[in-house]
Amino acid sequence: MYSQRMKDTPERLIETTRELLWERGYVGTSPKAILQRAGVGQGSMYHHFTGKPDLALAAIRRTGEEMRAAVDRLLDAGGPAHARVAAYLLRERDVLRGCPVGRLTMDPDVLLSEELRAPVDETIAYVRDRLAEVLQEGVDGGEFDADLVPRDLAATIVATVQGGYVLARASGDTSAFDAGVRGLLALLASGGDHL
């Protein structure tokens, strides 16, 4: 029983830290808050992690892994490129909570730490690159205009999604996010002629 609890402790700490990072950011996530929410003692945290930065890094990496896996499921589903990109844009999101990875780009301590910033940057780059691959398939298959630049449009999609989160959170209303998605889908439906 004790050894099972010890195995569960790092998992609880990582999951709790992920939640708190999404809610409060790195600066607002104290070790005390992590320990209280996870229901573990201080000794348990330092038994498994060297401190808050180490635990936060594990949590950020886990969040990035989950985001990449979700993107892969949507973009690897088969079918037309437009449908796969639309599936990414229309997927279920807690828009008013924001992106659990994108929110960290506004955290000064994350930005100052190359180690904490790296998995954030890698995850965003991964999403952009995967979208660019699917858009290239659409260009190659004649689904989109041959002049469309997949990497540029992929960057536009990521920027629109991340910006949509910011606008929705600022207004307390998802309509700005939804409008950005509708606009991108309309441009994609035109075959990329207006991009």
**Dihedral of alpha carbons 30, 36, 37, 43, sign:** positive
Model confidence, pTM: 0.90
Residue stretches of the chain with pLDDT short of 70: 1-7, 191-195
Residue 3, pLDDT score? 43
* pLDDT at 2 (0 to 100): 38
Q: Would you say the C-alpha torsion 157, 162, 163, 169 has a positive or negative sign?
A: positive
d(CA 172, CA 91): 20
Q: What is the pLDDT of residue 46?
A: 84
pLDDT at 52: 93
What is the CATH T-level fold of the domain 2-189, as seen in this structure? Tetracycline Repressor; domain 2 (1.10.357)
Q: What is the pLDDT of residue 192?
A: 52
